[in-house]
Structure 1
Amino acid sequence: MLGIILTGHGSFATGLYEAVVQIMGKQAQFTAINFPDGMSSEVLEQQLTDALKKCDKGDGVIFFTDILGGSPFRLSAMLSYQFNNVEVISGTNLPVLLEMLLQRDVLDAESFRLRALDIAKSSITSLWDENCKKTIDKKEYSDGI
């Protein structure tokens, strides 16, 4: 099973972590590392390194980060070059995280990354767009086609 490490600015990581636990319950090899205001990059790097060693049971680890280019992303990326089977995904949201937690037993790190990006593309929508889909679906069926 792939390990999962959430990281991001402020309480981003623990906020998502708590939401996952509320919805799915506690998960093995799953942790959150915040980067609060005032924390040094050196401290964050050490915490991420410790989490990586704790979460990796041989199949690899996926870092889920908040924003591309931020310190949590950059330090996770640096670690991905130092360890095998480590992937870094940026722009994390709850729908992607939930779906991928369900798939981490059956995918390797690279396949996991590719699947997560596919899911991310469809996880952002709006009420208007969803209502339009329903209207289109109803019209197709009402015409008997």
Structure 2
Amino acid sequence: MKTLVIIVGHGNYGTGIGSSLKLLAGNNSGVEFVDFLEEDSDISLKAKLIKILESSEVAQTLFVCDILGGTPFKTCVELSVEGENMEVTAGCNLGAILESILLKDTMDIKELANNIVSCTKETAVRFEKAKPAVVSVSDNSMEDGI
């Protein structure tokens, strides 16, 4: 199923994610990056998104927004309610976005939206430093090193 992924967020979030994705996976068709800049309004953002949707010939669309509740998220929700086969996600990390880009044409839109959120939850971690093990140097068996 042909899928369009639109990555949108505040400032240069969209094109910034696009730059990272290009470095990691090269150019991918069916992916658009939209920035919500300081000079934009919700109306101009919606116009940018509509222009992309109208020029695209896809069966389904996944919006990937930077943060829940922001103008990009609200605008994408509004478009998804008006349209069909559209899902909106927010707060997803780069690894999850990359995976979704690579899988986008293999899943139905609800499955893809669930997958990107699930992947974000599974890959968000905190590194915990371990205390170094204490080695006794009184044992002469270590005189020669390894």
TM-score range for the pair, normalised by the shorter chain length: 0.7 to 0.9
Structure 1 length normalisation: TM-score?
0.84
Counterparts of residues 1-145 of structure 1 (less than 5 Å): 1-58=2-59, 60-128=60-128
Q: Could you tell me how far apart the structure 2 residues matched to 1:61 and 1:114 are?
A: 13
User: Residues 3 and 30 of structure 1 are in contact (CA less than 8 Å); yes or no, is this contact kept in structure 2?
Assistant: yes
Q: What is the deviation of 1:28? A: 0.7
Q: What is the deviation of 1:55? A: 3.9
Structure 2 residue runs of 5 or longer lacking an equivalent are 131-146
Partner of 2:137: none
Percentage of identical aligned residues:
26
For residues 102-125 of structure 1, give each alpha carbon's deviation from its aligned partner in whole angstroms, at most 9, with x where no partner exists. 111210001111111211111211
Q: What is the deviation of 1:49? A: 1.0
Q: Could you tell me how far apart the structure 1 residues matched to 2:61 and 2:101 are?
A: 12
SS of aligned partner of 1:128: coil
- Length, aligned pairs only: 130
User: Residues 87 and 113 of structure 2 are in contact (CA less than 8 Å); yes or no, is this contact kept in structure 1?
Assistant: yes
Structure 2 length normalisation: TM-score?
0.83
Structure showing greater Rg? 2
Check 1:24–1:78 CA distance in 2 against 1; reply closer, same or farther (3 A cut): same
For residues 6-47 of structure 1, give each alpha carbon's deviation from its aligned partner in whole angstroms, at most 9, with x where no partner exists. 000001111001100111111111111100112111110100
Partner of 1:134: none
Structure 1 residue runs of 5 or longer lacking an equivalent are 132-145
Check 1:55–1:122 CA distance in 2 against 1; reply closer, same or farther (3 A cut): farther
Q: What is the deviation of 1:4? A: 0.4
User: Residues 64 and 90 of structure 1 are in contact (CA less than 8 Å); yes or no, is this contact kept in structure 2?
Assistant: yes
